[in-house]
Structure 1
Amino acid sequence: MFQIPKNLVDRAITKDTLHRSGKRLLKEIAQAVGIPESDYALRSNKGGDGVMGEVVAHSDSLYLMLHVGSGSTLKVLYRTCTSKKDFSGGMNMYVNVSDLVSSTASERFIEKLKNLGNLSKRQNASHAA
């Protein structure tokens, strides 16, 4: 499973913390889902003044983005995609990072991502045929 870095659950998160610890978190999630490090792109967009930016892990079947949402809540946006060049993909879904602190919730989230990734791979294969 994966561990949520404690500094990501802190209400006073900084931009540097979001990007440094966010990359580590998304790597751990990708590993838990079973996506090899060579099969996804991990990138960070710090944005300008006044925004926190986002951290993204993007594979051929899943798109994960860690960002500060409304109400200053740290969230993971996740969706299916058809390739690493697909930036719109399937329907956006969200989970609050603070909701993933319990091992039960994080296990459920990983299972959901595995199922979504498998669905996306099947859909991609049927479109290619």
Structure 2
Amino acid sequence: MFDWNRNCSYDEQHKRRFHMTARSRLKKLAAELALPQGSFDLRSNKAGMAVSGEITLHHDCAYIQVGQFGLSSGHGILIRACKGRKDYIGGANHFVALGMLDDIPALAAAVRAITGVGRDASRSSERHAA
């Protein structure tokens, strides 16, 4: 399991793993939300050596950004509604723990609750099984 709370500052190897792992988890989140291909961008900004940088999933109606900007508070995932992929301001900011990247269904539920975006894949599969 990845240590999301280990600081990336001044540790290029750990920062590379942080970005690679977060990017992979955001791809899984997009799949869990059943976001159509082409309806979102996935970006990574490594920034300077003193910070973690950020990894962003920017959907037409949701903006999700992962970074170590809230290590002291335990938060590191920003979730907010937006109006298109040119909207970088969006709705109110909501923060959840970086550890939610290890529980994609729970993170997807938080994204749905905050933004209304995405289908509940578990409920959808339950309906198909019935």
TM-score range, shorter chain: 0.7 to 0.9
Distance change in 2, residues 1:27/1:43 (3 Å): same
Judged with a 3 Å threshold, the aligned counterparts in structure 2 of structure 1 residues 77 and 10 are, in CA distance, closer, same or farther, namely closer
Render the CA deviation track for 1:61-97: whole Å, top value 9, x for unaligned: 0000010023365621110000000000001111112
Segments of structure 2 that go 5 or more residues without pairing to the other structure are 9-13, 118-130
TM-score (normalizing by structure 1)? 0.73
**CA–CA distance in 2 between the matches of 1:57 and 1:99?**
15
Map of 2:105 onto structure 1: 107
SS in 1 for 2:86: coil
Query: Quick check: 1:9 aligned with 2:4?
Result: yes
Higher helix share: 1
Amino acid at match of 2:6: R
* Deviation (angstroms), 1:8: 4.3
Stretch deviating more after TM superposition (67-76 or 50-59): 67-76
> For residue 79 of structure 1, what is the aligned residue in structure 2?
80
Contact 1:43 1:57 in 2 (8 A): yes
How far has the Cα of 1:60 moved from its partner?
Answer: 0.6
Does residue 45 of structure 1 match 2:45? yes
The answer to whether the 8 Å contact 1:66/1:74 transfers is: no
Task: Decide whether the 8 Å contact of 1:8 with 1:21 is kept in 2.
Answer: no
How many residue pairs get aligned? The number is 111
CA RMSD of aligned residues (A): 2.3
